[in-house]
Structure formats: C-alpha cells, structure tokens
C-alpha cells in the first residue's frame, strides 16, 4: 500500500487527482479538505497503483493506517512557510514509527507555482532535511510539484512505479 500524508491544505488531493489525469486540472480547480480517507487508483503504463490519502485532520490517528505500507508520499506546501514547522513534526512522528522502518518516502514540496524558488531551500532548512536524512534509516526522495502546472508529475509517477516491494512479491510467486 502507498500512503499520501501531509498537514491540512498541503495539496494532497489535488496532487493525486493530477497524478490520475492531468487533463482535469486547471487554474479554477479547487479541492475540499479531506475529512477521512480517499483512495486513488493511478494507472502507470499497464499497472494500477492504489494510493490512500489520509486527511491532515486525521494526523492524530495516522498510525492506525501504517501496517503493510511500503511507500509514503509526504506532501508539504512550500508556499506556506508558517505550516512547515507543523509539517516537520508530523513527518518526524511517522518516520520514527516502527511500522514504517522499511518504507520509502517521497517528500513533495507542492504549490511551487505560487512560491518563489528560494522557498524550496527555506522549506528544506526548516524541515532540517540534511540532518534528518543522516539520522533516519528510510530513504527520503525530495521533489517539487504543482498540481496546476503539472510540474513534478513525471518524477512522482516514476517514483511510484519503481516499487521494489511489488518486484519482490512477483519474485516470491515464482
């Protein structure tokens, strides 16, 4: 299972809709805050990947959804520096959860179309990513994205597709 997590209003739903199909996203697209979970099925070539989005308001109970998770897409709004400290606390909380010790993480800095480029560096500094990557065992990949412009879509789809756990499952069946 792949999980998509992040604080309130970080852009998770719109990002996942863009990954499903970038044809339905434009400047007038808005999303209602997720109050619960959403399941997105994303087709990449001949495979379908299921991604469960957990609303930011559910952060206190995210740990209930971590069993059998092989990948986590963690979304942070790079245009909202005030939100980043809260985002970092939530990220640290899930990184240290034993259920995710072997999971791969993708940190997606969203809303890059409404932020200036230096905000990426500021966001990574506030998240203390250099220190974090040294201290945690999980592999954390970082990418920038915009659900509106489609920036980062290809990189995220490639990260999803490179699912080592699915390769292992196929090998186990033989």
Residue 44 maps to which CATH number? 3.40.50.300
pLDDT single digits (tens) 52-71 = 999 989 999 999 999 999 99
What range does the domain containing 154 cover?
Answer: 2-173
| Position 173 pLDDT exceeds 60 | no
User: How far does Cα 145 stand from its chain's mean position?
Assistant: 10
d(CA 33, CA 24) in angstroms, rounded, equals 18
The domain total for the chain is 1
For the stretch 66-116, pLDDT in tens is: 999 999 999 999 888 788 888 988 999 999 999 999 999 999 998 877 766
User: What pTM was estimated for this model as a whole?
Assistant: 0.86
Q: Measured between alpha carbons, how far is 172 from 133 in angstroms, rounded to an integer?
A: 31
Asked whether 107 and 94 are in contact (CB, 8 A), the reply is no
Other CB atoms within 10 Å distance of the CB of residue 147: 27
What is the SS3 assignment for 128? coil
**Pairing outcome for strands 104-110 and 140-144:** parallel
């Amino acid at each position: 299972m792949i999980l998509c997590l992040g604080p309130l209003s970080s852009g998770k739903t719109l990002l996942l809709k863009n990954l499903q199909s970038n044809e339905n996203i434009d400047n007038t697209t808005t999303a209602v805050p997720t109050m619960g979970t959403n399941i997105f099925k994303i087709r990449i070539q001949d495979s379908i990947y299921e991604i469960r989005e957990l609303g930011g308001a559910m952060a206190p109970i995210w740990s209930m959804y971590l069993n059998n998770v092989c990948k986590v897409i963690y979304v942070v709004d790079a245009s909202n520096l005030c939100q980043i400290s809260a985002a970092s606390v939530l990220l640290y909380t899930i990184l240290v959860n034993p259920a995710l010790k072997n999971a791969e993480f993708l940190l997606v800095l969203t809303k890059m179309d409404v932020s200036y480029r230096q905000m990426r560096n500021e966001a990574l500094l506030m998240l203390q990513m250099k220190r974090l990557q040294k201290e945690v065992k999980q592999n954390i990949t970082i990418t920038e994205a915009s659900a509106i412009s489609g920036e980062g879509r290809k990189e995220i789809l490639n990260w999803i597709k490179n699912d080592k756990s699915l390769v292992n499952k196929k090998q186990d069946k033989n």
